[in-house]
Every structure is written in C-alpha cells, then in structure tokens.
Amino acid sequence: MKTNHKKNSAQTPPNTNTTGIARRQFLVGGASVAAASVAMGAGALPKASAKDAIIPKEVPDWSRYLGEGVNSNPYGQPSDFEKGVVRRTVDWLTPTPESSVSFAPLYRMHGIITPNGLHFERHHGGVPEIDPAEHVLLLHGFVDRPLKFSMRDLMRLPSVNRIHFVECAANTGMEWRGAQLNGVQYSHGMVSSSEWTGVKLSTLLKEAGVKDAGKWILVEGADAAGLSRSLPIKKAMDDCIVAYAQNGEMLRPEQGYPVRLIVPGWEGNINVKWLRRLEIGDKPWHHREETSKYTDLMPSGKARQFTWEMEAKSVITSPCPENQLMDKGYHTISGLAWSGAGKIKRVDVSTDGGRNWQPAALDGLVLPKSLTRFSLPWQWNGNPALLQSRAMDETGYVQPTIKQLRDVRGEWSIYHNNAIQTWHLKKDGVSENVQVG
C-alpha cells in the first residue's frame, strides 16, 4: 500500500547560497547565477513610437475581399496560422502508436481549459470505435440490484458540470535521472484540464445499493487492452463522475467516447476511458496496471502501490524552450499550477535557481483539482537566468525539489515526479531544460 511521504516538503525550502545544478549535471558559476538575479516587478511597459502609430496607407488583402461565409466549415477549425499548435509524440517513448502517448502543447495554451483536440492522449490498446446506441455500462458485484445503463439511461439522470485536470502518473517521469526533454510540451504535456459533464458515480452506486462488504470497485474499459483499476468506494462516493461530455460537446473517441470515468485529482490511469464495467468487491483486484505498472520503485527494492493522488506541481510555460524571448525589457512570466489535494493557494517564482522567491498572481478561476494560471511581471536585463516556479496547495504541501524527492525515493522511480522545474534562460533569449538540486 502507499507509503505516505506527503509531508516531506511541507515546509518551504530555505533559500541557500549553494545550489547543485544539472542538465546531465549543468554547472553555473556563482558570478553568472548572481547575474541572473534581475529586478522583478512591473517596471515600464514597452511603448510604441509615434511613427509606429500611423495608419498604413495600404489596405491589407483580408480587409479588401469578402471572406468565407457561414457554414463554409460546419465544424470549426483553428486558423491556418495556428496549424503548428498540435499534440506531439516522442518516437522512442513507446514501441507502437496503439500503446502510446501524445503531449499537449502547454506552451501555446491560454487560461485553464484545454481544447478537446489538444487534450493529451494515453492509450494502452488503441482507440476503439464504439457505437453509443449499443454500448452498455454494467454495475454488479456486492450490490442489492445489479444494473445495466445504456447511454440514454445515463443521460436521463441528473448531471453535474465540473472543471478538473487529468494528469498521467508518468508526466515528467523521464526527468527523474536528469533533464531529458527540451520543451515544456514534452516534459509536462501529459496534463490537461476540461469541464466534464456527466453523472455522479455515487448516484449509480446508490441506485444499485452497495452492500456493507463492498469496499472497492473494479473499473474496466472497453478498449482492446481491457484496462482496469481498483477504486476505493470512499473515493467513488466522494467526487467521481461518469462523464459523457467534455467542454460542451460529447467526448472525443481518444478521450473515451461514449463514456469515461473522471476521478478528480488522481492519476490519469484510474480515469478509465470507454467505461463498460463497475464491479463492487471487498478488496482490490491487483490487476496488471496496478502491480507491474503505476507503482513507485523505492531504494529498498520494494514498490509503493496505490499512489493515487497527484501532488502539487507547477511549471513555467513562458518563457520556456518553445517560447524564447526576442528582446530585453518587460515580460510576463506565466505558467500553470495544480494539485490533486484541492486548490492551489500560492505560487512563487524564482529567477536565480531558487535562491530568492517572489509570489506570483493567481489569474482567473482558482478551482479544486484544476489547472490554475499564475503570472509575474518581470524586467529582463539580458543576463542568464534560472527560472523556477513552486506551488503550494491549500493543505500546506509545498512542491519539492528533485533532490528532496530523490532523498526519499531514489533515482529509479518514474511516476509522481512533481519536482520544481528549471529553465536556463540564456543571453540569446533561448531557454534550456536543466535540473537544480
């Protein structure tokens, strides 16, 4: 069972004068790090000159001719100028596309909602093509009344609409032993946030009548992998959603069409897609994805199991390796923070590798178990900087350094890497993925 290390970074890490740095151990001398301590604050906004404000004499083509009319594209598409904003894969990460992952382009996202077409993907047996008119959700086991729900049955029941993130337990996993993937899309792109519409799982369980001996649920998908996970009844009765819609439209096939489970704040693998079966039992099943996978190897050789909750985490999405700075002067450091334990309470930002921190503003909605946007005005003087963000959630848990995680779990783990991320901003405005211990 899960070993509770939740409080290992509950105290704010102290500012230090010695910081170990690595990109396969990246070294920066004290003088250059000191140069990275540039002034933070609003400063002067960039101003256009008078000549820049003159209305051009030439009228651009897009203002001279009629554009396409209504219904020229019945399902709307992004502008052609945004065609590069897509999910991407890493060739060496998984052997086949049927059992693979695609990463969300966090560096070009705005707000806290991930568009349906950009939500990261994780498949274990490819995307099944399911006819919703034939799909059935079975609820059986330790219940008074075994039940079958068609999609029409589910959509007739009272619905809820809630915004929650889904994060793969392996998000940032490749960074355990050192900085690997030079881009926020690849290092952190297995997280997305959506508004989910569906029926509370507790509604279905109450209708079936769970027996006193029923303490666990086997949640099973209809994909070729038959992916399944054990879910405690306590969590199921709390906030889980049997979802059929995402961001105002029916689920996309890659997101579980026609119905999936949403388990707010818990690792993505237990948010089973293409949901077909809920079996109530008295103990966990210990199936493949909770024994051989999705466990955390400890230095002793033993593994933590059922490490469901995704701990507080954050990442700067601008500047980052994909978003370079073109000029000195005023910029806004911005990014995303999230926690499976509830709301984000605070995010601090450092430009000198964690020696000094300044609180960022939390922008827009701050919701439990959802992505939260943060920002900080910053004057860049052109010197190198080590950019970091550090999240704290409403429980008081503080996002740890990679050293703090390794001290507890060693270097061979994969899952639940919520360490502070560092971008090394160089003089030319380009950022590189590095690690600061």
Does CATH number 2.60.40.650 belong to domain 19-39+309-436? yes
pLDDT recorded at residue 51: 64
Between β-strands 329-338 and 344-350, what pairing exists: parallel, antiparallel or unpaired?
unpaired
**What does pTM read for this prediction?**
0.89
pLDDT at position 436, please? 87
Q: Any idea what the Cα angle at residue 261 is, between residues 7 and 223, rounded to 5°?
A: 120
- Cα gap 130→319, rounded to integer Å: 41
Give residue 17's pLDDT: 36
The tokens describing 225, both together, are 């992998």
Quickly name the fold that domain 101-304 has.
Sulfite Oxidase; Chain A, domain 2 (3.90.420)
* Residue 187 DSSP code: H
Domain boundaries of the chain, sorted by first residue: 19-39+309-436, 101-304
76 residue type, one letter: G
Q: What is the pLDDT along the chain (437 residues), one digit of tens a residue?
A: 444 444 444 344 433 333 344 444 444 433 344 444 444 544 566 666 666 677 778 888 888 888 888 888 889 999 999 999 999 998 887 778 888 899 999 999 999 999 999 999 999 999 999 999 999 999 999 999 999 999 999 999 999 999 999 999 999 998 988 998 899 999 999 999 999 999 999 999 999 999 999 999 999 999 999 999 999 999 999 999 999 999 999 999 999 999 999 999 999 999 999 999 999 999 999 999 999 899 988 999 888 999 999 999 999 999 999 999 999 999 999 999 999 999 999 999 999 999 999 999 999 999 999 999 999 999 999 999 999 999 999 999 999 999 999 999 998 888 999 999 999 999 999 999 999 86
| C-alpha span between 104 and 92 (Å, rounded) | 17
Which tokens in the block code for residue 124?
A: 């274990």
pLDDT at 8: 41
- How high is the pLDDT of residue 113? 98
Residue 189, judged by CB atoms within 10 A of its CB (0-12, 13-18, 19+), counts as buried
- 22 - beta bridge partners? 435
Name the amino acid, one letter, at 411.
E
